[in-house]
Amino acid sequence: MPDSHRDNNQRKGAPRLPGETCCGCGACSATCPTGSIEMLPDSLGFLRPSVKADRCVSCGRCESVCPSLHPRAEKDTVLGAFWAKGVDGEELAASSSGGIFGLIARKVLTEGGAVYGAVWTEGWRVEHARIDNASELHHLRKSKYVQSSVGPDVYASVRCDLAAGRQVLYSGTGCQIAALRSYLEGSACDNLLCAEIICHGVPSPKLWQLYVGWLEQRRGERLSGFSFREKEPEWERYSVRADFSDGSSWQVPYMDCWYMAAFMSDLPLRPSCHVCPFKRRSGSDVVLGDFWGIGGLDLGIGIREGVSAVVANTEKGLFAVQGLEDCRRGEVEYGEILAGNRSLELPAPVPERKPAFLKELEEASDLSPFISRWDFVPSRRAVWRGRIKKIKTVASECGTARTVAVFVKIAGKAVVLMAKGADKETLQKMAQVAVEELREKKRGGDS
């Protein structure tokens, strides 16, 4: 945090807002009646509140609204858990997972409502914005792995839409949902549907800006489009794509993209994400994510185009999911979603090398030397060696020699799940299914 901002927050009578645990939601700024709080980037690009002490009237509203100071005590209830995917191939291709956000949004828009979500803006920044027309939906679609900023105008606009009796779909990370709920405390929210996206954490906006500069410098062209989630060759093995002003493009498997590999390492995540108090406590109606590990459940559905994991927390959320047309879905156990997606409940652990990484990032002005020092993209040989080692370890922990043999047989599938973070239980289940299949085959051969 720049010193001038820190000084401001420490003046006598100034509010006591959180330091490291601030999630950057901007609710304090939106709530301040005297416009005394500006959200400014710290040395890693994360937005933090800066209080103009001369304007502050010490009313304390910013402290009361802050979701990090007052996390919700109540845990979100699971009313239903589902796998779901849209049936329209084009819409599926245009979304990150099973396209369920787009389906809910389209319904709200068709009924005259407004939808809020994260969009790219000038200079490859990400902000929350409002749309009220389905032709604008593509701006909100797809995960942008950069923290989205939510300005005071967005909070005010949601309040205005609700006051006008309009239906509102608000999508965002758990902290953004908790912040909105806190901001709207006391307002009528019957028409509000909050869709939380499962959140692994948000990486440093400074890192992203440096990465954009690095890409453009290497190519000698301006970036004209960027997608973190291209379902090429398939959803589970997605790729990252950059388009340039001369019409050329660059597409690589996600782990061959330095920025994505850095994101997955947890090193550049916002410090508050490591102690996130919003997991299963955001106050959302429905949670949407990738159904990682669904292949192991053997549900007999096609998964190459993407499948969403959906958790309904409220009757409103359940109704929204069950009322969806143009989609296939089925009930699952909540634990089956959690097995492949620990981010649903657990914050990312703090990597040992994080302080060193952040210190260097604070000082970095050019990514090239930084990339060579922090090489996240191992050689393919090293990747395979690591995967095989992992398989052997899990297999030996899991049991029989036959299980090991089966693991080797289904290694192709297993490594994909492992790379996606599938845990031991999911892999064990896969192995059991495969063992049963082998037994079945043997019985068939014996008779």
Ligand X SMILES: Cc1cc2nc3c(=O)[nH]c(=O)nc-3n(C[C@H](O)[C@H](O)[C@H](O)COP(=O)(O)OP(=O)(O)OC[C@H]3O[C@@H](n4cnc5c(N)ncnc54)[C@H](O)[C@@H]3O)c2cc1C
Per CB under 6 A, residues contacting ligand X are: 95-102, 117-118, 126, 140-146, 148, 171-173, 197-200, 202, 288-290, 308, 341, 343
> If contact means CB under 5 to 8 A according to the sort of partner, which of ligand X, ligand SF4, none does residue 145 touch?
ligand X
Name the residue nearer to ligand SF4 (CB basis): 1 or 81.
1
Q: Is the CB of residue 179 less than 8 Å from the CB of residue 196?
A: no
Minimum distance from residue 3 beta carbon to ligand SF4 (Å) = 18
> If contact means CB under 5 to 8 A according to the sort of partner, which of ligand SF4, ligand X, none does residue 175 touch?
ligand SF4
Name the residue nearer to ligand SF4 (CB basis): 282 or 428.
282
**272 lines the binding site for ligand SF4 (CB under 6 A):** yes
Identified binder of ligand SF4 from the candidate list 28, 115, 146, 419, rule CB under 6 A: 28
Interface characters, 386-425, with ligand SF4 (x: CB under 6 A): ----------------------------------------
Name the residue nearer to ligand SF4 (CB basis): 47 or 415.
47
Minimum distance from residue 155 beta carbon to ligand SF4 (Å) = 11
> If contact means CB under 5 to 8 A according to the sort of partner, which of ligand SF4, ligand X, none does residue 34 touch?
ligand SF4
List Cα–Cα distances, 89 to 108, 304, 327, 354, in angstroms: 21, 11, 11, 40
Minimum distance from residue 248 beta carbon to ligand X (Å) = 25
> If contact means CB under 5 to 8 A according to the sort of partner, which of ligand X, ligand SF4, none does residue 59 touch?
ligand SF4
**51 lines the binding site for ligand SF4 (CB under 6 A):** yes
Name the residue nearer to ligand X (CB basis): 9 or 204.
204
Minimum distance from residue 18 beta carbon to ligand SF4 (Å) = 5
Name the residue nearer to ligand SF4 (CB basis): 22 or 311.
22
Structural Rg of the chain based on CA atoms = 23
Residue of 206, 268, 229 lying closest to 43 (CA atoms) = 206
Please state at what angle helix 411-419 crosses helix 424-446, rounded to 10 degrees: 170
Binders of ligand SF4 among 201-230, rule CB under 6 A? 201-202
Q: Is the CB of residue 296 less than 8 Å from the CB of residue 332?
A: no
Q: Is the CB of residue 175 less than 8 Å from the CB of residue 25?
A: yes
**10 lines the binding site for ligand SF4 (CB under 6 A):** no
**66 lines the binding site for ligand SF4 (CB under 6 A):** yes
d(CA 118, CA 337): 24
d(CA 220, CA 239): 22
Minimum distance from residue 403 beta carbon to ligand X (Å) = 28
Which segment (29-37, 88-96, 238-246, 418-426) binds ligand SF4 by CB under 6 A?
29-37
Please state at what angle helix 401-409 crosses helix 411-419, rounded to 10 degrees: 80
Minimum distance from residue 402 beta carbon to ligand X (Å) = 32
d(CA 195, CA 168): 10
> If contact means CB under 5 to 8 A according to the sort of partner, which of ligand X, ligand SF4, none does residue 227 touch?
none
Name the residue nearer to ligand SF4 (CB basis): 338 or 434.
338
Minimum distance from residue 315 beta carbon to ligand SF4 (Å) = 23
Interface characters, 177-206, with ligand SF4 (x: CB under 6 A): --x-------------------x-xx----
Identified binder of ligand SF4 from the candidate list 96, 173, 239, 426, rule CB under 6 A: 173
> What would the two tokens of residue 439 be?
């037994």
> If contact means CB under 5 to 8 A according to the sort of partner, which of ligand SF4, ligand X, none does residue 289 touch?
ligand X
- Residues forming contacts to ligand SF4 in the complex (CB under 6 A) are 15, 17-18, 22-28, 32, 34, 36-37, 49, 51, 56-62, 65-68, 173-175, 179, 199, 201-202, 270, 272-273, 276, 278
